[in-house]
Structure 1
């Protein structure tokens, strides 16, 4: 089919566009994004990352893109929030304080403009600031944050993530979606705040139907996105729990390889 009829391509980062061990897209990815832009196709990084971090990561083509940030709680296009879903404040405080009390967990609270943390782990804060390029503010307690919270996340050692996920699913899954985002991160977002809801709302705003959308993903935080779009792709190296996510999904080795093939058809 090539890319005939496709108007939007959403793409997860870690484990999908970013290959294992990589921290930024390859130059080939930027070339392919440029070509998509010339053809009038919107390319959307779809990630749990903050908007500032995504713009830094895609600096060579940053102004050509729209962005699904914070695992779908925020969509940015042309420098403005097109979709934004905030958590109820009491719920956000309950979750944040529970994570603060949990052993070996470094918590972050995402707002539209800043990423907040209560972590006393300097290496963790430096990683967010200087490697992930987030706009980070350190506060003493969650209640010190006076912005709307759109996502809460925490990092644990990889070996401890399954137990942490099980604990927080048991405690909060009746009030928010609790999902893994990579091998060390766990995210909390509102029930209507996933990547799939973000794409659906953005598509409505632009007049783009699900059948005109394509998406690439690899993990549980991509599930609703891959169910929403008409043309879903999973990485061959995806989380085993994602295999067979729906009867339309195709499997690819790399995003670049598949985009190159589609552009050539």
Structure 2
């Protein structure tokens, strides 16, 4: 086995339930990755600025497939930024009016945004994942490059909401489950696998030298794409079916254990 790229989802995968990881252990692993010329990629639905905060010492060296592939950065160089058309945004906002049980944010290159009348509870929840988060009066007046909707549903409404959204949104955008009742609406075809492919091309790394870890619906394309794909023991059924291998819990450092084996 010769690995040249390792990509990790964060919540429920690389991070434990306390939203942290064994930093000393990973620091030693990363030093070994650098010695062997292995690229490390953070692939998450979360905001780029939040993801950087987990790796303060190496954020300028590693790559980020953030916002489920809509914003990709290698070191300090922007590789790709997705874009939702004004027509798609307007159509999606109109459809979302039929879902009063959901919380809604729109994500852009500069910040994430939520309406001024969203609850403080949702703001406090969202700020964990979007370190740049602003309240706005009107979604249609945001001056930013917008590429994703972030929704949150009560768990009992989640499955039916995704079914309905897939039917109503059409082909331009796709809803994907991110765990814990969270759903992202992304531009169709711009997902984590899209980001991994761009980085593979950039670094000339073939599929059979790439490993990835995940646990949710938004990891499926990535897990299907890479040769060495690992789903967590608590992963969603669709993620487990997409992965070639299953490993243990995020709370017992199963990803770090597997990285040791890969190294």
Whether TM exceeds 0.5 here: the answer is yes
Which residue of structure 1 aligns with residue 203 of structure 2? Answer: 206
Q: Which 10-residue stretch deviates more, 169-178 or 250-259?
A: 169-178
Q: How many residues align?
A: 256
Secondary structure of 1:59's match? coil
CA distance in 1, matches of 2:57, 2:75: 15
Q: CA RMSD in A?
A: 1.9
CA distance in 2, matches of 1:167, 1:202: 33
Unmatched runs of 5 consecutive residues or more in structure 2: 249-253
Q: Does residue 147 in structure 1 map to residue 144 in structure 2?
A: yes
1:171 deviates by 0.9
Alignment of 1:179-198 (within 5 A): 179-198=176-195
CA distance in 2, matches of 1:7, 1:58: 20
Which residue of structure 1 aligns with residue 56 of structure 2? Answer: 59
CA distance in 1, matches of 2:88, 2:134: 21
Which residue of structure 1 aligns with residue 118 of structure 2? Answer: 120
1:100 deviates by 4.8
Q: Does residue 22 in structure 1 map to residue 22 in structure 2?
A: no
Secondary structure of 2:105's match? strand
Secondary structure of 1:181's match? strand
Alignment of 1:33-52 (within 5 A): 33-52=30-49
CA distance in 1, matches of 2:151, 2:171: 19
Deviations 1:152-182 (A, max 9, x none): 1111222222232222122114331211001
Secondary structure of 2:10's match? coil
Aligned partners of 2:220 and 2:238 also within 8 Å: no
Which residue of structure 2 aligns with residue 233 of structure 1? Answer: 230
Which residue of structure 2 aligns with residue 252 of structure 1? Answer: 247
TM-score scaled by length of structure 1: 0.89
CA distance in 1, matches of 2:61, 2:75: 9
Which residue of structure 1 aligns with residue 135 of structure 2? Answer: 138
1:18 deviates by 1.8
Aligned partners of 2:214 and 2:239 also within 8 Å: no
Change in 2 beyond 3 A, CA 1:76/1:101 = same
TM-score scaled by length of structure 2: 0.90
1:34 deviates by 3.4
Which residue of structure 1 aligns with residue 251 of structure 2? Answer: none
CA distance in 1, matches of 2:169, 2:46: 22
Change in 2 beyond 3 A, CA 1:173/1:252 = farther
CA distance in 2, matches of 1:127, 1:91: 26
Secondary structure of 1:14's match? helix
Aligned partners of 1:67 and 1:76 also within 8 Å: yes
Which residue of structure 2 aligns with residue 261 of structure 1? Answer: 261
Change in 2 beyond 3 A, CA 1:18/1:204 = same
Change in 2 beyond 3 A, CA 1:80/1:89 = farther
CA distance in 2, matches of 1:113, 1:80: 15
Change in 2 beyond 3 A, CA 1:136/1:175 = same
